[in-house]
């Protein structure tokens, strides 16, 4: 009986597709689907960069991270105020990253927000099919006047 049970479990594990861990799954190039801010007081979700933001997320095998996100319908800035608004309608940073379970930590080397340079950005990841969900812990965000939000970003794997 034990031999049959062991053989059944062995066959089932061989037939089931192996799930790559987060470290391997995150490697690649991703196209932005959405960016939502979850207000930590009200739990309201807001598509702060519009319904069709643009962006790319790249995670290399050797540990390089690059994220660039811009709002939809951004006009070409012509004045100082328009340039300031352009800065408020984007998020971008790069550095070396490490993965520990579902936590990704990037040591920021360059960013749209100079306050992030030299620090770490911590995100939590999960995968659903060919989609990558990256979520921040609650934090004051410079693009919404320091209001405490959780950023929820959805990416689609590029083929």
Distance CA 155, CA 35 (A): 9
Structure tokens at 93: 């940073």
- The number of residues in the chain equals 159
Domain-embedded: residue 12: no
pLDDT at 5: 33
Distance CA 92, CA 17 (A): 35
CB 112 within 8 A of CB 102: no
Domain-embedded: residue 6: no
pLDDT at 55: 97
Residue with tokens 């984007």: 90
Give the domain range for residue 49.
22-157
Distance CA 58, CA 68 (A): 9
- Categorise residue 112: left if φ over 0, alpha if ψ from -120 to 50, beta otherwise: alpha
What is the domain count for the chain?
1
The predicted-structure confidence for 50-109, as pLDDT tens digits, reads as follows 999 999 999 999 999 999 999 999 999 999 999 999 998 999 999 999 999 999 999 999
pLDDT at 66: 97
Domain-embedded: residue 2: no
Check pLDDT > 50 for residue 17.
Answer: no
Give pTM, 2 decimals.
0.79
Range in 3-17, 84-98, 107-121, 133-147 the model is least confident about: 3-17
Domain-embedded: residue 102: yes
Domain-embedded: residue 65: yes
More confident residue, 140 or 143: 140
């Amino acid at each position: 009986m034990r031999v049959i049970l062991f053989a059944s479990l062995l066959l089932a594990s061989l037939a089931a597709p192996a799930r790559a861990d987060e470290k391997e799954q995150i490697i690649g190039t991703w196209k932005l689907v959405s960016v939502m801010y979850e207000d930590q007081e009200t739990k309201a979700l807001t598509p702060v960069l519009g319904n069709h933001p643009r962006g790319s997320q790249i995670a290399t095998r050797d540990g390089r991270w690059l994220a660039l996100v811009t709002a939809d319908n951004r006009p070409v800035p012509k004045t100082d105020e328009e340039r300031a608004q352009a800065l408020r309608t984007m998020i971008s940073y790069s550095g070396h990253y490490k993965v520990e379970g579902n936590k990704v930590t990037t040591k920021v080397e360059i960013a749209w927000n100079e306050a992030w340079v030299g620090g770490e950005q911590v995100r939590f990841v999960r995968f659903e099919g060919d989609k990558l969900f990256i979520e921040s812990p609650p934090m004051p965000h410079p693009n919404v006047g320091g209001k405490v939000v959780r950023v929820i970003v959805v990416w689609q794997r590029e083929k």
